[in-house]
Structures are given as C-alpha cells and as structure tokens.
A and B are shown apart, each in its own frame.
Chain A
Amino acid sequence: MSLLKRIRKSFGTDPGSKPGHGRGISARGILIFQHTSEVIRAETLLKLAGFDVAVKGPPPEIRTGCDLAIEFPVISQLKVLQLLQQERIRPLHVLPLQDVLLEPVNLFHAKDFGDYLMVRAANMKITLSKADLRIVNVSGGGCPDVPYLADQLLGKRLDEAPEPRSLGSTLCGYALQLAFEELRRRCPG
C-alpha cells in the first residue's frame, strides 16, 4: 500500500476524523477522577476552554470504582491540569492513552560544571549559577512554550523566578517544572 493510501486510510473517510485512531501512537491522554460529578464539571470546563475532550469509560486496569474518564490531547496536559486546578478539580490519575501503564519519567540527572549546576528531567534541562543562584540557561524540549519559558526564567534568581507550570502549557513545560523543582530542592538558597 502506498504511503499516500496509508495516510488516507489513517484519516478514514472523514478528513476531520480524530488523530491517533489509525497508524501511529495515540496523541491522547486520559484523566481519571474519583467522582462522576467531577468528570462532568471537568468536561464542561475543558470544552468551554476549547479543548477537544470526550468522556469515555476508563480501561479495566485502572478502574477504581468510577465509570468515566476524560480523553484529552496529551500534549496539552499542563494547561488542562492548570484549568482544573483553578476550579479545584483534582484528577486521581493522568495517563497517556497509548499504554495505561506508562508513567512519566521520574529520574533526574544532575551535572556539575563547577560554577554552574545543570538538572535534567525527561527532555528538559535547566542550569543555574551557583554563585548567585540565577538561572543562566534552559535547553532541550521541542514544544513552543519552551523558548517562551526560557525567556521568562533566564536571569532570575531561583527563589524569585516564576514556576514553569504557571506559564507553560505542554508536556515539555511540565518536564521543565520537574527540573525546576529538583533544582530548588538541591539549591534551597
């Protein structure tokens, strides 16, 4: 089958059909809640904010008594969680749909450059000057909020810099938040 045919097949007959339902890896994630009422509130909130979400039955492996979950675009995880947090809605679990056993990376890697310390979480790295605890660099990542977050963080002291999660929108932004927290843990000031 030619590539073109495969692509068209992945679209199905409707060119506007949802992504991730054909070839490839699902670009969707799921939010699991304790109560159905939270699912309904969260769905309303996320739809009003313009997110492409759908209420589904959760996979049996992670069913905890609730019968509903919300499917959402996984790349927007950080923004989705921010919106829910503003309304004090806390999901029990946030998982990529591709494989419900996948979990975010939770290992940090630190590299000492003498006068500077770099911490990496997943694909994001943040570096600070040990002398004055100012953030001197942000590298890695590939989502469009990374250059924006770098602009907001660079030159600021670790204790006065905004948390990446308050400004970011994507999984790269979320990974940068984890690296930022680890840096704060290692350099409490």
Chain B
Amino acid sequence: MSWLIVGTVPYEGFPLIEGKCNVLKRRLRFGDQSVRISRGTPALLATACLTAQALGIEPPSALLCGDIGRGDGSRRIYEYLVREIPDCPNDLFVFHYLQPDVDWHNRILCRLEELPTTPILIADAGYMYVAKMSGFAASYDLFTPDAGEVAFLADESAPHPFYTRGFLLQEDDRVPELIQRAYQHENAARHLLVKGRCDYAASADGILAKICDPCVEAMEPIGGTGDSLTGIASALVQGGRSLAEASVQAAYVNRFLGLISSPTPAFSVADLLPALPRALEMGLPQSNHIRRHEF
C-alpha cells in the first residue's frame, strides 16, 4: 500500500525528486538532500511521516521540486505526473503547494481516472484552488480548507481566494452555511475538513462533526498548522480509517499538538512536532498501538 505526497519546496533550483523521506533534527531528508521543516509541503510531509511511523504503516513517498512562485517547478511536477501516473501504483495521492494551472490539473485528473482503480485523492493549498477552479472538485475525496478558503469554495464565481466576494467573507460562525453552499455548487470534495476556531468534518450529507476543544488560539498565526492537519489526516486515511473518521481524529490530534506545546504566535510548526506522538495518543481512540519514536 503506497501513497504519494506531491508539492513544492521554496528553493530555486531544488531538483525534482521522488522517493521516501524521513524526519531528522527538524529537517526532512531525502537521500543526500534535505529541507527545513517550516511550513508548506515539508510540514505536511513531516507530520505524515511521523504519523505513519507512529501507526506502523508504510511512510509516504514524496514528489517535490523547487518553486518560489514562478510555476517552473510545479510544471516539472505536472509533466512528470502525466508521464508517470500509469506506472505509479499509489492508493492515495495528496496534492499540496502547486501553482494552480487548470490545463495541467485536468490532464492529471484524466490520467488518474484512467487507472484500473481510482486512488483516493486529497487536495489542499494551491491544488485545492485549481481543483475547484477546474469544476472537478467533486472528483476529490477530501479537501482541507481553512475558514477563509471554504468561503472561496462557497463562491461559485471566485477563481482564487483573493477574489472571494465580500458577502461570503470568512466568519467562523458562518462555516456551516458556506460548506452547504460549496456543496450546492459542486465546489467541494466528497469530504471537507475545515480548520478554524472550531474544525468541521463535513460531506454532501451535512456536518458530520464539529470539534472545538481543546482550543489553542495561538495556533492560528503559526504557519504550517493547517499543513500538519492535512498530513495527519492523510496518514490516518492511508492507515485504513474512513475519510470521516480520519478527519475527526486528525482535528483532535492537531488540537492536542497545540495544547501540549503551549505555543506563542512566534512558534514554528517544527517546534510542535516533538509533541506529535503524545498528541496521537491523546487524539486517537484505542491508541495503545501507537509507536513511540525519537524526533
């Protein structure tokens, strides 16, 4: 059972790499390459690797390339995926920080749909934006937007969160209404995990769970705490949980990550990761099979 996490790292000239990674001393390592874990796809990968290790499942493979916003690294990844997907037997794909490009998105989705068994598809960040922009959001299994991004999903006209119309702007108490509107216009994945002051797990059937405790206010300004949530949820899905179960449990684990770490708004997500094994023990039911390991 293999799974692939696809995204970019913010270093110009960083080569395209595919392979297993591990977390060591606040860095994500791939063979002789390594990147700092600060936010974005490295943060998602780090939490996914550590959660997989704790669950005793196969760690994810990473498909990464350097991109500082010019889209060159994202295009190399897109080309690689279109070429390699037929020979890429992954059960789960997680798409993350990639330059939105509808044409490439549709080609990749087409390739994925052509596989004998369609893999589970999770999207966050730029790839969630382009999945919505393409009109094929419903082809995905899980999106993990924050409260502002769910307003973007709810706005059937907005091509990017920057253009979300004012009457749909982020207000935490309006999240259920925004979720409903996103489903009405087919701009949501089959499941949504909306992160915010309260987290929501939802599907087209409605709100499945609302998780408000423990609440650690300082998590909001810390870059990468949404990425950690997506990483944990992805690992739980790969570990065999249903999308709904994984969403709810990931929300709890990410909140315990904050509670245990007692962060200030100046923390980095890497400062939180040593608490992940304990957060998994606290956030997952029947967690006696969690393996402790060094970070």
Contact = CB atoms under 8 A, between A and B. Distances in A.
Chain B binds chain A: yes
Interface stretch (A57-65, A83-91, A146-154): A146-154
A34 to B, nearest CB: 23
Interface string B217-257: 11011111110000000000000000000000000000000
A102 B165 contact: yes
Contacts of B165: 102
B152 interface: yes
Given A113-B265, A147-B97, A15 B107 contact: yes
Interface residues of B, number: 72
Interface stretch (B53-61, B109-117, B175-183, B280-288): B109-117
A19 B40 contact: no
Contacts of B71: 75-76, 144, 169
B224 A19 contact: no
B106 A125 contact: no
Contacts of B130: 27
Nearest to A73: B101
Contacts, number: 219
Indicate the member of A7, A17, A118 with the most B CB atoms within 10 Å.
Answer: A7
Given A105-B169, A139-B221, A144 B98 contact: yes
Nearest to A113: B265
Interface string A8-41: 1011000111111011111101000000000000
A4 B113 contact: yes
Given A142-B126, A169-B70, A27 B101 contact: yes
Nearest to A129: B266
Interface of A, secondary structure class, is mixed
Interface in A84-124: 96, 98-99, 102-107, 109, 111, 113, 115-116, 118, 120, 122-123
B206 interface: no
Given A142-B97, A143-B126, A171-B162, A19 B110 contact: no
A145 interface: yes
B132 A25 contact: yes
B160 interface: yes
B199 interface: no
Contacts of A116: 221, 264-266
Given A74-B160, A147-B97, A8 B10 contact: no
Contacts of A137: 221-223, 265-267
Contacts of B146: 123, 140
Interface string B11-24: 00000000000000
B74 A144 contact: yes
A143 B159 CA distance: 13
B163 A118 contact: no
Contacts of A103: 163
A150 B224 CA distance: 11
A66 to B, nearest CB: 23
A173 B278 CA distance: 35
A144 B73 contact: yes
A18 to B, nearest CB: 7
B161 interface: yes
Interface string A128-140: 0100000011111
5 contacts: A27-B159, A102-B163, A123-B152, A139-B224, A140-B148
Task: Please list the 6 inter-chain residue pairs (A to B) with the smallest Cβ-Cβ separation, ordered nearest first.
Answer: A145-B69, A24-B135, A142-B125, A19-B102, A169-B69, A148-B10
Given A20-B133, A25-B134, A142-B129, 16 more contacts: A3-B136, A7-B110, A19-B106, A25-B135, A75-B160, A98-B157, A102-B165, A116-B265, A118-B220, A122-B164, A127-B221, A139-B221, A144-B69, A147-B38, A149-B69, A151-B38
